[in-house]
Amino acid sequence: MSSAGVSAKSVPEWLSTFRGRPLVLVALGDWELPDEQLLRQIRAELRGLGASLLVVSERSLFCFRPDDELERLEPSGDSAFHAQSEVAAHFGLARPQPSELHLVLLDDAGRERYRTSVERSPRLAEALLSALTSAGKSALEGQELEPAALAPGNTTSGPRISRRESIVLCLIAALSATLAESCKSGPSAPEKLPLRAPPATTHEREVVLRVNGLERRLKLEPRVSLLDALRERIGLTGTKKGCDHGQCGACTVLVEGRRVNACLTLAVMVENKAITTIEGLGNGSELHPLQQAFVSEDALQCGYCTPGQIMSALGLLQEGYALSDDEVREQMSGNICRCGAYPNIVRAVQRARKPELPT
């Protein structure tokens, strides 16, 4: 993301570049990078809110997305100080002192949903984590945030927020075929939907996932997706997180032999069902025939989408569909390759179906 000319823009124009996804905006007097453990905890809270984090201090600007590296934005120095002053003035905040933190949460339409302040905190990174945690709990439980919930320092709290409407819609669509059909015929504009708190539960429950022939017993919240359970809790990172909205197919896995998008599937929905990921193919150093076909036909470039492509192709072959090249393209249209290796992918699928094809 380019931030060139940040100080030359008005604050509304600047913040409009983050539209389309909730944003946690933090203005503070100074900023020290958290340690790796604290970063992981902050990532988890941001992932729960579905938000990016923008940190504005008097010396620099940082952008932090849940699944990306911490990104330092320019400008710095006087320009950063000017941007911090504009942000504070725009949201009616006092310019933060070195030990103060002001947090504002904007929804995906740029509307303010929540704000809080922390004063006299010697470690602002820990105060930030506490603020994010309390905001998430307030949203899930449908309660107003108590001032004592944020520590250390004095706090003020704003109105409670709801989970992202788009996530709620995706979950409803996955659980109700009837509602999914009605959404196709005439979906309502997201901004017109009433904001409501999700079910009041943050309790974990034991879930048994049968992944690649092995039973995995995990304690998960009901909202955890199968993708996050595989990557973050089990450590099977071959299944990739691309769009996280079910549009790119990078997270495709097989559940009872059928292709599913792991990012749109709750882990509790597939309990005790046979789950196959890219790690479950092959035998030791010996590649699965479909994996070998992708290598032989050079059906990959950057390789990020390849696990999802292979798992989708495996499901396609097991389903017995898509005998012609055009049918293969149609049946795998949900898997996007930004590098454009589609012709070679089609050849790899056909080679796996008919190994005797000439090279």
- Angstrom distance (rounded) from CA 28 to CA 123: 11
Based on the fold, state whether residues 211 and 330 are members of the same structural domain: no
Instruction: Please tell me whether residues 142 and 231 are part of one structural domain.
Output: no
22 shares its domain with 145: yes
CA nearest neighbour of 224 among 232, 215, 213, 216: 232
- Asked if residue 117 and residue 234 are part of one domain, the reply reads no
User: Tens digits of per-residue pLDDT, 8-24?
Assistant: 455 666 666 666 778 88
What's the pTM? 0.46
User: Is 238 part of any domain?
Assistant: yes
Instruction: Tell me what the pLDDT averaged over the chain comes to.
Output: 76
Least confident of 65-69, 244-248, 345-349: 65-69
Please report which confidence band the pLDDT of residue 226 belongs to, taking 50, 70 and 90 as the band edges. very high
Q: Are residues 213 and 342 in the same domain?
A: no
Cα gap 278→300, rounded to integer Å: 15
Task: State the residue range of the domain holding 287.
Answer: 283-353
Look at residues 136, 118, 124 and name the one whose alpha carbon lies nearest to residue 51.
136
User: How high is the pLDDT of residue 356?
Assistant: 54
- Domain end (from 157, 191, 212): 157
Taking the C-alpha atoms of residue 83 and residue 1, their distance in angstroms, rounded to an integer, is 17
Alpha-helix residue ranges (DSSP H) falling in 238-358: 289-296, 306-319, 325-331, 342-353
Model confidence at 340: pLDDT above 90: yes
Report pLDDT for 183. Answer: 54
pLDDT of residue 4: 38
Residue pLDDT, tens place only, 325-337? 999 999 999 999 9
For 186-206, how does the pLDDT look when each residue is reduced to its tens digit (9 = 90+)? 555 555 555 555 554 558 899
* Measured CA angle at 188 (ends 187, 191), to 5 deg: 140
Q: What is the pLDDT of residue 5?
A: 40
pLDDT in tens, 59-108: 677 777 777 666 666 555 556 666 667 777 777 777 777 778 888 887 77
Q: What is residue 89's predicted lDDT score, i.e. its pLDDT? A: 73
In 3D, which of 303, 307, 313 has the Cα closest to residue 347?
A: 313
Report the pLDDT value the prediction gives residue 16, as an integer from 0 to 100: 67
Q: Judge residue 178's burial from the number of C-beta atoms within 10 Å of its C-beta, 0-12 exposed, 13-18 middle, 19 or more buried.
A: exposed
Each residue's pLDDT tens digit, 260-310: 999 999 999 999 999 999 999 988 789 999 999 999 999 999 999 999 999
152 cis-preceded (ω within 30 degrees of 0): yes
In a domain, 50, yes or no: yes
Give Rg (Cα) of the chain. 23
**Final residue of a structural domain among 257, 280, 303:** 280
Q: What are phi and psi of 50, to 5 degrees?
A: 65, 35
- What pLDDT is attached to residue 294? 95
Residues 89 and 130 in one domain: yes
User: Looking at the domain assignment, is residue 84 inside a domain?
Assistant: yes
Residue 4 in any domain: the answer is: no
Q: Is residue 248 part of a domain?
A: yes
